[in-house]
Structure 1
């Protein structure tokens, strides 16, 4: 069947008959279905992220430098406090840096909390290759 001017809606483009295949009616858009699909996808991604964070994250191992003392050309003493799960232990990475920020020493210290305790205060010496300006705790993770 060929199209005539009587069968064409006003404002619709006119194409030569048989040239572009069968014409389809414009499809209905489904914004509600799209919004629902996006919401479900975001919820699933949120649940996956939460599960992975609780499984592999270590939010309970927080360290804070109290002070650093005993600075010589070959060492610095770092006093720090670590928050761990009650009765748990942590391995902390300490480092010493010069005034310009270059790392001149690195050490690991393992600390263990007493049963029922969440905070551990420790002192550890970091050996250095040059005179340090600062001693700091880089990170703490579960010991093991």
Structure 2
């Protein structure tokens, strides 16, 4: 007769199991889970790196100014390889983040690779902010 009343009632030993009744993971299972997590991190890093290689244009917003109910001015820096051209989309947003104005700004090639630009965005109603939505390499003819 067993000294464990639960084993007598349910027909199994409590040794080797946690209170939920599950057995701990084996070493092989732990290695497989670790390998799967490492592979996932590597895939995410590769996608981030390849995206950066496809779009060599970076930007940094410097500031904005509400000129009137019909215009917002946005100042920003564009960094790209020397000699490259780009197009940046600048948007004016209302308090509820609705787009009330948009402008594509063409960035001419530069020897230094960095330029400061100011864009004047016309709006359909009063905006509360101006932002750079994105910058991308310009299509070559």
C-alpha change, 1:54 and 1:101, in structure 2 (3 Å) is closer
**Runs of 5+ in structure 1 lacking a partner?**
16-25
Distance 1:77 1:108 in 2: 13
Residue pair 2:57, 2:135 contacting (<8 A) in 1 also: no
C-alpha change, 1:107 and 1:36, in structure 2 (3 Å) is same
Distance 1:51 1:119 in 2: 27
The count of aligned residue pairs is 125
**Runs of 5+ in structure 2 lacking a partner?**
11-15, 17-22
Residue 51 (structure 1) shift: 1.1
Distance 1:132 1:74 in 2: 8
Residue 82 (structure 1) aligned to one of 57, 60, 78: 78
TM-score, structure 2 normalization: 0.64
Which of 1 and 2 has greater Rg? 1
Residue 53 (structure 1) aligned to one of 20, 30, 48: 48
Instruction: Provide the alpha-carbon RMSD of the alignment.
Output: 3.4
Q: Does 1:140 align with 2:129?
A: no
Residue 73 (structure 1) shift: 4.2
Residue 65 (structure 2) aligned to one of 68, 81, 92: 68
Which residue number corresponds to residue 106 of structure 1?
102
